[in-house]
Structure 1
Amino acid sequence: MAGFEVYELIASVLILGGALLVLLSAVSMLRANDALQMMNVFSPATGMGLPLVVIGIFVHLTGRDRFEWWTLLMAAVTICALVIVSSLASNTLARAVYQSGAPLDPATRPQDLADAGTGPQESAESAEAGEPAERTGWAATDD
């Protein structure tokens, strides 16, 4: 193989690994029972798959054009943005799905957003005492 470099192999493995995680997450989304599970199974793609692709591109560009600080800065900012934006977006989408009243799989537990009080500890205590849980907080003001 004329012109083959080691950095090309490393970059290819990183990019293909990231793409495989995205593909497997997408296939898993088809098997999910509700919207919350769909968002949960896509987290490997946003948490590892896309950053692996960015790192693979950085390795390729560094091997081809030599190291440049600008390329490193762009890769670091991109990876940080992917992690931060995906975390905020998944949290916002989960709240929107729950508030919309979309049907949830009965096996989705715990239902912290629907439980009474401020957290799971308080709702567990009221469930043990036989008291029905009430919807309180931001979820109750959805009317």
Structure 2
Amino acid sequence: MNENPLSETIWTDLAVGVPAILGALCFLTAMVAVNRVRDALGRTNTMSVATGLGMVFFILAAFAHVTVEHGFTWVNLGEVLIAIFATFFVVTIASMTIARAVFMSDTPLDPDTDTRDLDE
């Protein structure tokens, strides 16, 4: 049995479960949206936002789980803040790089996609 009595309450289950479910919903929404977009450039744009937000929710769920099981520490909070910053940084740079590669490869784009800003 766990030594921490708070680990078995509904509030701790919610603190861990709600961010995890929200993260999963972000990825599910991204999957549905990607299947509705008609070109690679739009798919890249759709995935980047949902992936970044979903990962942040998963990081928060992991932090809540560790905090419930082992207690709060400043080191864990620092790790979470670094992980969230790194997630935003990596997702932003990766999505811009992939979108630029898609644009430069001359893949067919949907006629509704406006690329005037990318030509400059």
> TM-score per shorter chain, which class?
0.7 to 0.9
In structure 2, relative to structure 1, the CA distance for the partners of 1:73 and 1:84 (3 Å cut) is same
**Which residue does the alignment assign to 1:49?**
54
Match of 1:34 among 30, 39, 59: 39
1:84-122 deviation digits (Å, cap 9, x = unpaired):
0110111111110011111111100142122xxx5xxxx
Q: CA deviation at 1:73?
A: 1.6
**Which residue does the alignment assign to 1:9?**
14
**Which residue does the alignment assign to 2:80?**
75
More helix by share: 2
Which letter does structure 1 place at the counterpart of 2:56? P
Question: Hey, what's the Cα distance between the residues in 1 that align with 2:48 and 2:98?
Answer: 13
Question: Hey, what's the Cα distance between the residues in 2 that align with 1:8 and 1:61?
Answer: 12
Q: Where does structure 2 lack aligned partners over 5 or more consecutive residues? A: 1-7
Please, which moves more after superposition, 87-96 or 67-76?
67-76
Q: CA deviation at 1:5?
A: 4.3
Q: TM-score, normalised by structure 2?
A: 0.86
Question: Hey, what's the Cα distance between the residues in 2 that align with 1:111 and 1:47?
Answer: 26
Larger Rg computed on CA atoms: 1
**Which residue does the alignment assign to 2:64?**
59
* 1:21 and 1:45 in contact (8 A); partners too: yes
Give the paired residue count: 114
* Percentage of pairs with the same residue: 36
* 2:45 and 2:99 in contact (8 A); partners too: no
Indicate the RMSD between aligned Cα atoms, in angstroms.
Answer: 1.7
Which letter does structure 2 place at the counterpart of 1:112? D
* 2:19 and 2:60 in contact (8 A); partners too: yes
Match of 1:112 among 106, 111, 117: 117
Question: Hey, what's the Cα distance between the residues in 2 that align with 1:113 and 1:28?
Answer: 22
Q: CA deviation at 1:39?
A: 1.2
Which letter does structure 2 place at the counterpart of 1:30? N
Which letter does structure 2 place at the counterpart of 1:82? T
Question: Is 1:93–2:98 an aligned residue pair?
Answer: yes
